[in-house]
Amino acid sequence: ELVLKVRIQNPNLRENDFIEIELDRQELTYQELLRVSCQELGVNPEHVQKIRKLPNTMLRKDKDVARLQDFQELELVLAVSDKPSLFRVPAPSERSGYNKKASELTY
């Protein structure tokens, strides 16, 4: 197995940690990487614009995937659309540490 670290590239997420995924070394293809990554991260593959090997290399084909080494860091870059965000940003009142009384103070 090849172990990779994957996350969603989204600065609006509160937690943007990597998860580790395993790929069978006999099936190192771009489509398999996309499928497993999306399944583990709960993302629709149709929303992925590209896969980036950090810090700045775009993966495009099976040969790119075949060159990956254990524990390399990847990001799924999601397509920007006019539709509502794929991720729900919590309202201020839902965030931990939010103080409703403090927000109503007037000076």
pLDDT per position as a tens digit, 39-65: 999 999 999 999 999 999 999 999 999
Its pTM stands at: 0.70
Q: d(Cα 54, Cα 58) in Å, to the nearest integer?
A: 9
Q: d(Cα 2, Cα 100) in Å, to the nearest integer?
A: 48
2-78 CATH = 3.10.20.90
Alpha helices in the chain (DSSP H): 30-41, 62-66, 100-103
pLDDT band at 16 (very low <50, low <70, confident <90, very high): confident
